[in-house]
């Protein structure tokens, strides 16, 4: 792929002003550095430089998929509803699935993911254990009508994903390929220059039980993680935790009922009872699948984790505001003592040794103080149901958890037979018996990864591309374009760099030095070679390293060799895709 990297010809309208709608650095810089433009909320056009960076992410991912024997293919964006009806997801996917009708009135959707299509594609022809395992992937556009598209490429509605799907005859074979994918995903993150962590996670709409998310660490990330020095890490959505509790009341006391009309919050309740919020217990109400009421009791200073709560009571959902009156319970004053008949009481396991709970009395404006489990009420089930937080104990080793925020750049899943059973995709095993495939699926957010890289690599001036993704590796900046020594020298250095296999851009625009420097820093070329009159007269050119800001004077005669060496070693560190498919200008 040839790319004419003369700035005078390149379509890259950079912006001086901060785009008002951009809340995070990557969104701001992708717009300012002329990488992309918005078409509609969460839908973007990639301009030449941005497209080139996207292609580089894709190429890295492609190389790593090919290396583990997954085969590239391409599936349609528009998918027939029947397949989604067979898998059962047509009804459960909700408004994120964009549905449309063709001129005959038949139902279709825009693919948010491709489990249905891939399963339907192989099921009639992949029939024998001899043809397994099989792994296929594509790099393509996805559409999800996200409720809140935001942060530019981080949460778009139309975005590019690499999605792979694998088919297996046995769990061992699935596990083996899953492990290869996990390793490949780690290498992809490394090659993108990301600081990342693999974390335990929830499998969401995709399904299955074994899953890992790959998180790029960033303050702007939407995900909260907890991790331990022992290596354990999890998305707080699912993270198990050990809550450290030191209740201040250590002797049993009689239970008292107190009139508390003015107490609205846990903090007010704690103050009134002269205990810490930590000693109070809050109760949240849910509805089990069979309609039975469920009370979840947790420490007053913690949050209920709805994922873990519904794992403890499968099929449970928390009550909606208007349901409290249906059940005849006071939302602000719930507690485990004398709840409505048949209520299932679930206690957070950290409360197990607390002997004097401050709880609601299931009666408006009344609380109970000193309620003792086993004496005053019964807890039917103890489980871990609170949101994990930093300083909790690690469930693996007991160490102290730390917290971080992350951007989920990719996720892998073992699906088991979830889709193959529903969609009747089976193979004949060695004995000739029909068995459903075991499946895995594996997704990398190409455009989200690109944005995550910028979240981690930027400064006030602009993007600081890792060598593996920079739209070009070196920029040559002649400071007086009209000058009859400077201009030809810059041109010569640029073409020699290109000849030595470096992706080089020549800023041959008729612009002031300040404009060229500002654009070079904004776009983020990893190295800049400054060709000015003074330097030329002294026989020395300045080479600037964008990442460190360091400037080195290099003799004119050595500059091509020196910069080629710098680029080559940076490429080697990151296993850059630059020198392979995306060839420099001839
Ligand atoms: P999220 O929880 O952030 O909505 P997800 O778990 O639904 O994402 P997956 O179904 O696991 O996403 O999709 C695989 C990858 O596709 C994600 O890891 C992410 O990198 C990317 N991706 C998902 N949704 C979006 C989006 N709205 N915009 C950009 N990339 C996305
Ligand atoms: Mg995911």
Give backbone dihedrals phi and psi of 449, rounded to 5 degrees, phi first.
Answer: -60, -40
For residue 24, give Cα distances in angstroms to 17, 31, 57, 154. Answer: 15, 11, 21, 9
**Ligand lying nearest the CA atom of residue 222:** 1
For the ranges 1-5, 165-169, 208-212, 557-561, which has the lowest average pLDDT? 1-5
Average pLDDT of the segment spanning 195-209? 82
Ligand 1, atom 1: nearest CA belongs to which residue?
408
Average pLDDT of the segment spanning 481-492? 89
Expressed in angstroms and rounded, the spacing between residue 162 Cα and the centre of ligand 2 is 12
**pLDDT at residue 583 tops 50:** no
Q: How crowded is the C-beta side of 32, counted as CA atoms within 13 Å?
A: 26
- The residues near 31 (Cβ < 8 Å, ≥ 6 apart) are 15, 19, 22, 37, 38, 152
State residue 432's pLDDT score.
95
Expressed in angstroms and rounded, the spacing between residue 264 Cα and the centre of ligand 1 is 39
Task: Provide the mean pLDDT of the chain.
Answer: 93
**pLDDT at residue 22 tops 80:** yes
Ligand 1, atom 21: nearest CA belongs to which residue?
445
Strands of 419-534, DSSP E: 426-428, 434-436, 438-445, 458-459, 462-463, 474-478, 504-506, 527-531
Average pLDDT of the segment spanning 328-342? 94
Ligand 1, atom 10: nearest CA belongs to which residue?
206
> What is the full DSSP assignment across 26-95?
HHHHHHHTTSEEEEETTEEEEPHHHHHHHHHHHHHHHHHHHHTT-EE----SEEEHHHHHHHTHHHHSGG
Q: How crowded is the C-beta side of 133, counted as CA atoms within 13 Å?
A: 22
Residue 578 and residue 503 in contact, taking contact as beta carbons nearer than 8 Å: yes
**pLDDT at residue 372 tops 90:** yes
Average pLDDT of the segment spanning 274-281? 82
State residue 481's pLDDT score.
67
| Helix (H) or strand (E) segment spanning residue 256 | strand 256-259
Expressed in angstroms and rounded, the spacing between residue 113 Cα and the centre of ligand 1 is 10
Q: What is the largest CA-CA distance in the chain?
A: 96
282-327 residue pLDDT tens: 999 999 999 999 999 999 999 999 999 999 999 999 999 999 999 9
Q: Given the CA of residue 407, which atom of ligand 1 is nearest to it? A: 3
- Ligand 1 pocket test, candidate residues 138, 208, 443, most atoms within 8 A of CB: 443
State residue 290's pLDDT score.
92
Residue 399 and residue 230 in contact, taking contact as beta carbons nearer than 8 Å: yes
State residue 574's pLDDT score.
84
Alpha carbon distance 198, 69 (integer Å): 22
For the ranges 330-334, 505-509, 573-577, which has the lowest average pLDDT? 573-577
- Ligand 1 pocket test, candidate residues 445, 446, 449, 454, most atoms within 8 A of CB: 445
Ligand 1, atom 20: nearest CA belongs to which residue?
445
Average pLDDT of the segment spanning 109-116? 98
**Ligand lying nearest the CA atom of residue 442:** 1
In the DSSP assignment, the letter for residue 437 is P
Expressed in angstroms and rounded, the spacing between residue 445 Cα and the centre of ligand 1 is 6
- Polymer length of the chain: 586
**pLDDT at residue 466 tops 70:** yes
**pLDDT at residue 585 tops 60:** no
| Helix (H) or strand (E) segment spanning residue 486 | helix 486-499
What percent of the chain shows pLDDT beyond 70?
96
Expressed in angstroms and rounded, the spacing between residue 213 Cα and the centre of ligand 2 is 7
State residue 229's pLDDT score.
93
427-433 long-range contacts (CB < 8 A, ≥24 apart) are 427/126, 427/127, 427/128, 427/129, 427/131, 427/132, 427/167, 427/169, 428/127, 428/128, 428/129, 429/129, 429/169, 430/129
Burial class (CB in 10 A: 0-12, 13-18, 19+), 510: exposed
> What is the full DSSP assignment across 119-167?
HHHHTTT--BGGG--EEEEEEEEEE---SS-BTGGGB-SEEEEEEEEEE
Expressed in angstroms and rounded, the spacing between residue 210 Cα and the centre of ligand 2 is 12
Q: Among 186, 173, 212, which Cα is nearest to 64's?
A: 186
**Ligand lying nearest the CA atom of residue 152:** 1
Expressed in angstroms and rounded, the spacing between residue 159 Cα and the centre of ligand 1 is 9
In the DSSP assignment, the letter for residue 332 is G
State residue 578's pLDDT score.
40
State residue 5's pLDDT score.
87
State residue 576's pLDDT score.
53
Q: Given the CA of residue 155, which atom of ligand 1 is nearest to it? A: 28
Residue 68 and residue 135 in contact, taking contact as beta carbons nearer than 8 Å: yes
State residue 277's pLDDT score.
79
Instruction: Count Cβ atoms below 10 Å from residue 101 Cβ, excluding itself.
Output: 10
**Ligand lying nearest the CA atom of residue 162:** 1
Instruction: Count Cβ atoms below 10 Å from residue 316 Cβ, excluding itself.
Output: 19
Alpha carbon distance 6, 509 (integer Å): 8
Alpha carbon distance 413, 544 (integer Å): 44
**pLDDT at residue 586 tops 60:** no
Ligand 1 pocket list (CB less than 6 A) = 113, 144, 146, 155-156, 159, 161, 204, 206, 408-411, 443, 445, 447-448
Query: For every residue of 302-322, which 3-state class applies, written as one string?
Result: CCECHHHHHHHCCCCEECCCC
State residue 241's pLDDT score.
94
Q: What is the CA radius of gyration of the chain?
A: 30
**Ligand lying nearest the CA atom of residue 194:** 1
- Ligand 1 pocket test, candidate residues 98, 165, 411, most atoms within 8 A of CB: 411
- Ligand 1 pocket test, candidate residues 114, 408, 450, most atoms within 8 A of CB: 408
Expressed in angstroms and rounded, the spacing between residue 96 Cα and the centre of ligand 1 is 12
| Helix (H) or strand (E) segment spanning residue 257 | strand 256-259
Q: Given the CA of residue 149, which atom of ligand 1 is nearest to it? A: 27
In the DSSP assignment, the letter for residue 339 is P
46-66 residue pLDDT tens: 999 999 999 999 999 999 999
Q: Among 100, 59, 103, 61, which Cα is nearest to 80's?
A: 100
- The residues near 234 (Cβ < 8 Å, ≥ 6 apart) are 199, 200, 201, 225, 226, 227, 240, 388
Query: For every residue of 261-299, which 3-state class applies, written as one string?
Result: CCCCCHHHHHHHCCCCHHHEEEEEEEECCCCCEEEEEEE
Helix axes 486-499, 559-574, angle to 10 degrees: 40
**Ligand lying nearest the CA atom of residue 153:** 1
Average pLDDT of the segment spanning 30-54? 97
Q: How crowded is the C-beta side of 510, counted as CA atoms within 13 Å?
A: 2
Expressed in angstroms and rounded, the spacing between residue 548 Cα and the centre of ligand 2 is 34
Ligand 1, atom 25: nearest CA belongs to which residue?
155
- Comparing 271 with 439, the larger pLDDT belongs to 439
């Amino acid at each position: 792929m040839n790319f004419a990297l003369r700035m005078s010809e390149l379509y890259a309208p950079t912006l001086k002003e901060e785009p008002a709608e951009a809340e995070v650095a990557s969104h701001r810089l992708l717009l300012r550095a002329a990488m992309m433009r918005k078409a509609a909320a969460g839908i973007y056009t990639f301009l030449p430089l941005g497209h080139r960076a996207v292609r580089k992410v894709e190429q890295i991912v492609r190389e790593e998929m090919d290396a583990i024997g997954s085969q590239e293919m391409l599936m349609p964006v528009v998918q027939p509803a029947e397949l989604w009806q067979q898998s059962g997801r047509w009804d459960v996917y909700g408004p994120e699935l964009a549905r449309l009708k063709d001129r005959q009135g038949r139902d279709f959707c825009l693919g948010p993911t491709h489990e249905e299509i891939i399963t339907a594609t192989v099921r009639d022809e992949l029939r024998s254990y001899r043809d397994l395992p099989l792994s296929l992937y594509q790099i393509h556009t996805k559409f999800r009508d996200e409720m809140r598209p935001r942060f530019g490429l981080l949460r778009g509605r139309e975005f590019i994903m690499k999605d792979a799907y694998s088919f297996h005859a046995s769990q061992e074979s699935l596990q083996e390929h899953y492990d290869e994918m996990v390793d490949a995903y780690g290498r992809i993150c490394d090659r993108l220059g990301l600081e990342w962590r693999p974390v335990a996670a929830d499998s969401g709409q995709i399904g299955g039980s074994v899953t890992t998310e790959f998180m790029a660490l960033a303050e702007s990330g939407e995900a909260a993680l907890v991790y331990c020095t022992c290596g354990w890490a999890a998305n707080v959505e699912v993270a198990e935790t050990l809550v450290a509790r030191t209740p201040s009341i250590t002797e049993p006391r009689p239970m008292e009922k107190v009139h508390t009309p003015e107490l609205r919050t846990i903090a007010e309740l704690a103050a009134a009872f002269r205990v810490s919020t930590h000693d109070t217990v809050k109760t949240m109400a849910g509805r089990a699948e069979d309609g039975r009421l469920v009370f979840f009791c947790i420490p007053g200073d913690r949050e209920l984790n709805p994922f873990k709560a519904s794992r403890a009571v499968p099929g449970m959902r928390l009550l909606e505001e208007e349901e409290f009156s249906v059940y005849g319970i006071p939302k602000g004053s719930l507690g485990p003592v004398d709840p409505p008949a048949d209520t299932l009481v679930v206690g957070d396991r950290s409360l197990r040794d607390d002997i004097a709970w401050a709880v609601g009395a299931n009666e408006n404006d009344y609380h109970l103080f000193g309620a003792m489990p086993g004496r005053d009420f019964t807890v039917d089930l103890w489980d871990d149901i609170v949101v994990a937080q930093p300083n909790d104990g690690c469930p693996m080793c007991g160490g102290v958890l730390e917290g971080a925020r992350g951007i989920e750049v990719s996720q892998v899943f073992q699906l088991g037979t979830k889709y193959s059973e529903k969609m009747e995709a089976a193979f004949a095993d060695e004995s000739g018996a029909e068995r459903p495939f075991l499946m895995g699926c594996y997704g990398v957010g190409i455009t989200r990864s690109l944005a995550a890289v910028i979240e981690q690599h930027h400064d006030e001036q602009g993007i600081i591309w890792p060598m593996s993704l920079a739209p070009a590796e070196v920029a040559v900046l002649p400071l007086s374009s009209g000058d009859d020594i400077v201009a030809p020298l810059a041109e010569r250095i640029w073409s020699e760099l290109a000849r030595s296999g470096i992706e080089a851009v020549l800023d041959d625009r008729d612009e002031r030095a300040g404009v060229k420097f500002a654009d070079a820093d904004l776009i983020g070329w990893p190295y800049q070679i400054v060709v000015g009159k003074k330097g030329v007269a002294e026989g020395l050119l300045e080479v600037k390293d964008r990442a460190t800001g360091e400037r080195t004077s290099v003799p004119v005669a050595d500059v091509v060799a020196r910069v080629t060496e710098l680029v080559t070693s940076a490429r080697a560190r990151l296993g850059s895709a630059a020198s392979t498919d995306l060839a420099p200008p001839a």
